[in-house]
Structure 1
């Protein structure tokens, strides 16, 4: 929900902003909700009995939001009704048509329609129509990339315009209403070539493109790994190696650029690791926040209203070691769900980004793509590399962990420590939370947190040699000196008294040493450092 709308509702006394952290602990996977992905293809010589799933998205159309589309490495795309359960005792694989003859890396549903676009490794993107009987029909294929197409994104509230990004570093905007070329191929509406330069990609000298930007021969274009529309004319992209998130104004004609195109805004990498490639981009429903999965095991959140280069939050706790890790938001925009390379999926409460709220256990290999449904039960789908996808639902309340392991094939566990005290700070208020407060309040907090230094207590302690004289039994008149106040020292108190007091101390060779319990001071190496007038 939009934060501004929430504020207006609170002013009118409408309190409908609730969290359900307690319910996420009960997420589980019933035996009827665990599937074996899609049946593998046997058209290729390198037959893979367990093709991994690379994309999973719920339909974005009313009355069909329970339909899930998943795509695998073999190029198959299956539609699944998540309200139906698996009636067989073992996990079952889904039947699916052969949509591409290469891997499908991403798919995106058109807003308000039962259409979706698929991004494939065969250098094409295809638009598909879902018929009433659940059949998938190809409408048109879009050819413009010279390498694998990695990602796709539809414009908000417009099912006719979408963008694709590929391994060749190109971002192409397509309009299904545009006229065809002479050879009856779709015509690109706008092109951004070499938008992300640097990192893993294709050298410019090896690219087969008529409009090659004038760049050095050894320069490389970073693979486009994430695309997201902020509004009608604003597109956000990220690459696999340059560590920069770029905001493009699609009202410009980037096709005519002969050099590296300049975006409207750039968000540089905010971390310190050398693994600064991004794997996924998400823009919330209000278009004010951006979430980017990074290879440094962090999900960065940015403010799109100001385009500040400083992230507003950093979500940690996951392990992101491949470019197949993806994330999504809950339908109400309060939680963040992401896959991970440590065989788990994580859910964060957006108000507590430091550590995940719960972790989903049940997979045995890397969890790649995830999806969160918007139906009444809000199912969660997680997919992994061994061709298994699981559907998570809220389970019963009064059940222990042993019964979960026996009856379910996946369970959730709290990761965030509730009521944990912050170490290293005794402040009643955290001054980091006051970045957006008035300066007068900041000064007031600083004054309240400082200890007054005008009054200092003078310690009246005996020196080390005075203590030696007292224990050794010397004459009080010879060993005791008038105590003087020590000057205040800003760098801490001295351990021993100044050397000027040592000459007035007792020089009896039979004086006992407290530190080493020795009688003869002539052989005491410790005392010889401080007593220099001993008889030889």
Structure 2
């Protein structure tokens, strides 16, 4: 049979079968001249610096609204269609305070007295105020439009000197107070003293807090100026069954209160554990105890763990109070301690207050360097840390090393010049879907910081197209309402300025803040004023725009946001 393949096709199949890979005298072969590459110098890439890629600038609300209409996602992490823009002012711009929302603290003789501390009940619109005269005042935070209605629910003399701290038990039946002379437990129903925590502290106590979890109203802790932390149990050994008022529920669900027997003398509570020299300072080669300025219990499931901070340095320590120290041990050992912030290399700054997020995933510390630092609770102990799990077994403390802060908050109206400046977290509730951190300030204002990290991602996205100079500190965000400032180049901690100041409510340092059970904010200042802040978008906008003419905002306060926030959408 005659072959139908051409000579060239025949050569192709021979080559594909590996018979002959070199075709001689083929007209289809092209002689390609060999290219000799020049040798590259070894140091050609030594000085090469890649040029950073600049991102497109964030185009703001208009761009995000357009993306929402097109059904596109958001690079800033915001996924809620009803809130197309991640603007933290959406959570803070509604706060305001009217003239009738303020209360002036006066002594029986009519002179002013300074409120030192605040604490709110968990189930009623009542806030307790402790002043420098040793009195406890109960302040009504319920909605009120009548200027003649009295906010003061009663004044009770408890201590002989200034009250430093107070805390309500979870059932609101007991109020713990601490002052320079001693710590006391007040029975709230009868307004009488039921227990004393007098022995065990060599210096005046500074902080007091009830334990969370199952032992509500029985176990609490105190701290003093000598670095000592003591754990108290009111159930042993001298308490009487009628020492406190109690609440009981019947089979029908009706709650009845058994009133305390006031003929019983206040008993002395017992100490079940003591931590000595928890914080120390070193100066000129000498070490001395430091005052414990902040303590914070962890929530139920980890209620045996306690956080503490001091005036000496920006270090937070974690303690397991189930571990009993040996008697001959002069210094207690914590489970872990955080690392000092990198910008504190040349000077130490103390911590004035601690607060936890609602899910206990973040811890916030108010530092004397005018910064609120945010820590990850998972990073308090590096490596395997079974001590941080819920219902963990007791282990011997090893003073493990934890990480430093993740980031920090700053604001032009925030300053912590004294250790009286405190913070308080508003947890998530029915009327609010995210946490909100309120902080006092030496600049005569309260500053609110939304802690939802979607706002931080949004702030980073707005500056992602800007290139930081080499060696500069990362400063991913600037305030919406304040001018951009220069951050210290020695810091490697990202600083965010997304807070909002509540202005014109006080004339002197705002030392303490507290959240009521229904989300209202109460602040206390050295001007002897206790003020309640409420949320109403229309009224807050009215106070910002009306001006001082006519006196309509006399003794009123409002959230200080830029004027563009109050502009109408159709303008």
**1:179 lines up with 2:243 in the alignment:** no
Q: Offset at 1:83?
A: 1.1
Q: Offset at 1:366?
A: 0.6
Q: Offset at 1:168?
A: 2.0
**1:327 lines up with 2:384 in the alignment:** no
* Residue in 1 that maps onto 2:544: 401
The Cα offsets for residues 310-356 of structure 1, whole Å up to 9 and x where unpaired, read as 21220112211000000111221522110110111111121346114
1:147 to 203, 210, 221: 203
**d(CA) in 1 for partners of 2:268, 2:543:** 59
**d(CA) in 2 for partners of 1:416, 1:297:** 23
* Residue in 1 that maps onto 2:192: 137
* Residue in 1 that maps onto 2:225: 167
Alignment RMSD (CA, Å) = 3.1
**d(CA) in 1 for partners of 2:437, 2:267:** 42
Quick one: higher RCO (CA 8 Å, sep 6+), 1 or 2?
2
**d(CA) in 2 for partners of 1:23, 1:163:** 34
**1:224 lines up with 2:325 in the alignment:** no
CA contact (8 A) 2:222 2:231 kept: yes
**d(CA) in 1 for partners of 2:497, 2:563:** 9
CA contact (8 A) 2:138 2:152 kept: no
Distance change (3 Å), C-alpha of 1:234 and 1:16: farther
1:78 to 137, 148, 152: 137
The Cα offsets for residues 205-225 of structure 1, whole Å up to 9 and x where unpaired, read as xxxxxxxxxxx9x64210111
* Residue in 2 that maps onto 1:410: 556
Distance change (3 Å), C-alpha of 1:32 and 1:316: same
**d(CA) in 2 for partners of 1:222, 1:58:** 29
1:311-322 correspondence to structure 2 within 5 Å:
311-317=405-411, 318-322=414-418
1:53-202 correspondence to structure 2 within 5 Å:
53-60=115-122, 62=123, 64=124, 66-83=125-142, 85=144, 87=146, 95-122=154-181, 124-131=182-189, 135-143=190-198, 144-157=200-213, 158-159=215-216, 160-180=218-238, 185-198=268-281
**1:233 lines up with 2:304 in the alignment:** yes
Count of matched residue pairs: 375
Q: Offset at 1:275?
A: 4.6
CA contact (8 A) 1:357 1:416 kept: no
SS of structure 2 residue aligned to 1:235: strand
**d(CA) in 2 for partners of 1:195, 1:345:** 31
1:100-499 correspondence to structure 2 within 5 Å:
100-122=159-181, 124-131=182-189, 135-143=190-198, 144-157=200-213, 158-159=215-216, 160-180=218-238, 185-198=268-281, 219-230=287-298, 231-254=302-325, 256-270=327-341, 271-272=343-344, 274-307=347-380, 308-317=402-411, 318-332=414-428, 333-350=434-451, 351=453, 352=456, 354-361=496-503, 362-375=505-518, 378-395=519-536, 397=538, 399=542, 401-403=544-546, 405=548, 406-408=551-553, 409-414=555-560
**d(CA) in 2 for partners of 1:156, 1:238:** 19
Q: Offset at 1:285?
A: 2.7
Q: Offset at 1:243?
A: 3.0
Unaligned ranges ≥5, structure 2: 1-78, 240-265, 381-401, 429-433, 457-494, 566-571
CA contact (8 A) 2:357 2:435 kept: no
**d(CA) in 2 for partners of 1:417, 1:310:** 37
CA contact (8 A) 1:357 1:414 kept: no
Q: Offset at 1:88?
A: 5.1
* Residue in 2 that maps onto 1:437: none
Q: TM-score, normalised by structure 1?
A: 0.64
Question: Of the two, which has the highest radius of gyration?
Answer: 1
Unaligned ranges ≥5, structure 1: 1-12, 43-47, 201-215, 420-536
CA contact (8 A) 2:515 2:522 kept: yes
The worse-fitting range, judged by mean Cα deviation, of 86-95 and 314-323 is 86-95
Q: Offset at 1:414?
A: 4.2
CA contact (8 A) 2:94 2:537 kept: yes
**d(CA) in 1 for partners of 2:498, 2:80:** 29
1:507-526 correspondence to structure 2 within 5 Å:
none
**d(CA) in 1 for partners of 2:367, 2:435:** 20
Q: Offset at 1:148?
A: 1.4
